[in-house]
Amino acid sequence: MRIADLQTPALLVEKAALEHNLRTMAEALPGARLRPHVKAHKTTGLAKLQRDAGHSGFTCATILEVEGMAAAGLGEDLLLANEVLDARRLGAVAASGARVTLAVDSDITVDAAVAGGVREVVVDVNVGLPRCGCEPEDAGRLADYARSKGLDVRGVMGYEGHVMPVEDPADKLRQTEECMTKLLKASADVGGDLVSAGGTGNYAINTWANEIQAGSYLLMDTAYGAQGMPFQQALTVLARVISINSGGWRVADLGLKSLGMDHGNPTIPGAAVWFCSDEHTTFSEDGASFAVGDVVRALPAHVDPTVAMHERLHVVDGEDVVETYEVDLRGW
């Protein structure tokens, strides 16, 4: 198949960039130092490439991701880095032979793990991002409660997500250290082997955690691309110009329902994007010339939600489609 044969909009992944990103991260964080986060690509085919690069443990965001990874033979060590109030499906995955660890941050989520048949947990600690996680001073008590219920507490996790977009290197390092000081204090109270944290935005400087939950590095987006990391933009969204107006604007057949927009508009090389609507992106020429029927490759600003909107992605080399993967971890 050729790229020109694809129905648009469609996800493209440049083979050379994908291989570069796999290799670069495996050299930076070999083996268990990286627990890749599959929420970024939601594709077991890509997760197998990460496994082949030496990373056998994975981070998941949803129950379905855990189920799909286990079914694909990737269940050696799955961490659901999220709180769950009904863990029965996770217990079934664990009973099938996969190793499943669940994040807990309250007595209620501990009880849910027990009731669902999950036997291993990590204590999720609030290190500064206003989202999930218990307070650091409560982590030890929560671990004791979990152990009293018969659970194995593997350690702690915390996500300093608010640090990921910080551009100034010194400020990013300072904020990461502040967050990890909280996590290490909690770790001392909790015990266990795992100190799990971090992401693509600070993978190279978070030396406090013993495993990093990076995911976006594999495909990349323009938000992370602006930070000067050594990863290449592998993911683009293929679209076609479907209309040109005499007023000077062009319209491509991709929009809000095929792009993650929470980090801003996509980038189209040679164009100035005006705005996106449900199925359209309106833009003007900015150094390139576009005609009706021309293909464009839009660079998404946020990779995770962009991928989740598509049923499959196509690995390409030049104009050839060399592999097609189902985005089989979509949904819940």
pLDDT band at residue 11 using 50, 70 and 90 as cut-offs: very high
Sorted by where each starts, the structural domains of the chain and their CATH numbers stand as 3-10+231-326 (2.40.37.20), 15-219 (3.20.20.10)
Q: For position 25, what pLDDT does the model report?
A: 98
**Alpha-carbon gap, residue 27 to 31, rounded angstroms:** 9
Q: For position 276, what pLDDT does the model report?
A: 98
Q: What percent of the chain has pLDDT over 90?
A: 100
Instruction: Please provide the DSSP assignment of 287-313 as one string.
Output: SS---TT-EEEEBPS-HHHHHHT-SEE
Lookup result for tokens 């600690």: 125
- Rounded average pLDDT over 155-165: 97
Q: For position 292, what pLDDT does the model report?
A: 97
| 217 and 227 Cβ atoms separated by less than 8 Å | no
Give the strand pairing for 10-14 and 235-244.
antiparallel
Q: For position 10, what pLDDT does the model report?
A: 98
Q: For position 226, what pLDDT does the model report?
A: 94
Q: Residues 6 or more apart from 220 whose CB is under 8 A from it?
A: 17, 21, 231, 232, 233, 234, 235, 303
Q: For position 90, what pLDDT does the model report?
A: 98
- Rounded average pLDDT over 291-298: 97
pTM of the predicted structure, to 2 decimals? 0.96
Which letter does DSSP use for residue 84 in this model? -
Q: For position 110, what pLDDT does the model report?
A: 98
Task: Tell me the per-residue pLDDT of 105-135, one tens digit each, with 9 for 90 and over.
Answer: 999 999 999 999 999 999 999 999 999 999 9
Q: For position 68, what pLDDT does the model report?
A: 98
Task: Tell me the per-residue pLDDT of 208-224, one tens digit each, with 9 for 90 and over.
Answer: 999 999 999 999 999 99
User: Residue 104's beta-bridge partner residues?
Assistant: 123
pLDDT, averaged across the chain: 97
